[in-house]
Structure formats: structure tokens, C-alpha cells
Amino acid sequence: MLTFTKMNGAGNDFVVIDNRDLSITLSKEQIALLCDRHRGIGADGLLAVEPAEAGADYKFRYYNADGGEAEMCGNGARCFGAYTAQLSSPAKTEVSFETIAGTLGAEIIGDNVRIAMSDPFDLAMNIPVQTADLGDVHFVNTGVPHAVAFVEDLPALDVVSNGAAIRYHDHFAPNGTNANFAAAVAESHIAIRTYERGVEGETLACGTGMCACALFHHILTGAASPIKVDVAGGDTLEIGFVNDGNNNFTEVTLTGPADFVFTGQTDLVG
């Protein structure tokens, strides 16, 4: 039997397992089954807590709903931070963890978690990617790759078709990219919708995608940090950052909710 905790961060939901003793080995197919919303527990991805290897408190492993491992997940990192903070007695208010994208820190602030993200890289404006419903597309890696397009009518946009067109575009081959669509709400306030690679559909929120959209909103409009971001799940999160004046960003933070839903056991993995 596998013991797990179900969590969600702004509607982005996860199966979380404690594998600090490294006794759990899951195949890609088993992870996909656990994340299946009809035959499994149901989730956008799976988080595994493992022992740290480079001096942090824990090691962060993240797998998309298709079972493939990814470098990072912003909403998953907030859930991971909230989960691992509770593993100590008394519970911690700050934890650090190692990811493929670098070592991150999480700070528990009431019902919210603030993640100190890794520095973005590979930022590029106006890349040669077009779909019928979009204008300019921009790109940055905020822990995982993200393409961003600003649109006039965000609620009416066909996120699945436009997202898939960008996700599988030759420009991003062979690994593809996540695709985000954003619209301004106010000077330092945007709304976004995201098509996630590995989920292969729209999700209610994406933390690294929020960071990408906030950075491009700042570049295009001069909006000051922090920037509020409304997500499809109904929550509003906050992205902080420092720009050196040449669009080299540091001190990127992601602040928002991380909720425990339930704990259970399953024999889906034998």
C-alpha cells in the first residue's frame, strides 16, 4: 500500500509521497495511473520528498501527470514547502530543498507559502512562433520553459488548441514548452491561463508560468514589482523580482496558497 497526501496550490493539484527512506520506486506508468482522474487519485503531478544530497533540508522530485520527471513546478514547490515544514516537530517556518533547477527556499507565511525561485534564463522577446489567434510570443525559462503571449480576450481564447500549437512547435523541439496566455487587469495586475506540458491541457494554475508572465508584463509595460496574478482556479498570487535594468532578473519570489486536501492509502501500485 502507498500512503500519500493530496494537496493543491491555487487549484494546481498534486499527489505527495514521503520517500525519505527511498523505499518507494514508481515507474512512469504507475505515476501516470496515480494522477489519472478517472482510474487513479487524480492530480496534475506527483511530488516525492527524498533525502537531500547537497546540504538542503530535502530533495524535491516532481513528475508530470504523464509520469515524466520535470525540473520544477512553482505551485508544486509551495505545496512541497508546506508539506516538508510539517515533517519537523515543531513545524518549521522555513525549509530548503534541492531541485533539478537549483536549490530553493520556502517560507511559511500564515496560510501562504513564499518560494524563492531560481533565477530565470534564456529570456527572448518576439520569437518566431505564430498561431492564428496570437500576436507576439516571448520565452523564458523560470525553472521550466515557458512561452508567453498577451491576448485581448483571455476568457474566450481556445487555450487547448493554441497551447498545443505552441507546446509542439518546431522552435521548441525536441522537449517542447509550456504555453501561457495573459491579459492586463491593472498596472501591476494580470490574469493568465496556462497549457502545461506533460499534463497536455489547461491547468487551473502554474507557478513558474505566473513568474514568466509577470516578468514579461514588467518588460512590456514597466509595471513595478510585485505583480499580482489571477489564475483560472480563482486565486490571486504575487510575483516579486529585481531587474538589473537589462532584463536580467534575480530575487524572483512566488507567494500564494498551499492547501492540504486529504491523506490516504492506495494499492494501485501494488
- Domain spans in the chain, listed from the N-terminal domain onward: 2-118+262-266, 121-257
The whole-angstrom separation of Cα 146 and Cα 124 is 11
35, 79, 206, 211: which is the annotated catalytic residue?
206
pLDDT range class, residue 130, cuts 50, 70, 90: confident
Q: Does the annotation mark 35 as catalytic?
A: no
Per-residue model confidence as pLDDT tens digits over 29-73: 999 999 999 999 999 999 999 999 999 999 999 999 999 999 999
- pLDDT at 131 (0 to 100): 73
CA 23 – CA 231 distance, rounded (Å): 36
Q: Which residues have a Cβ under 8 Å from the Cβ of 22 and sit 6 or more positions away? A: 50, 51
Q: Which of 73, 79, 211, 213 is catalytic?
A: 73
| pTM for the whole structure | 0.92
**Contact predicate 8/261, CB 8 Å:** yes
| CB neighbour list of residue 94: distance below 8 Å, 6 or more residues apart | 85, 105, 106, 107, 108
2-118+262-266 and 121-257 share one fold: yes
The architecture of the domain spanning 2-118+262-266 is Roll (3.10)
Instruction: Select from 89, 24, 92, 20 the least CA-distant residue to 59.
Output: 20
3-state secondary structure 97-115: EEECCEEEEEEEECCEEEE
pLDDT of residue 269: 85
Fold of 121-257: Diaminopimelate Epimerase; Chain A, domain 1 (3.10.310)
- pLDDT tops 70 at residue 94: yes
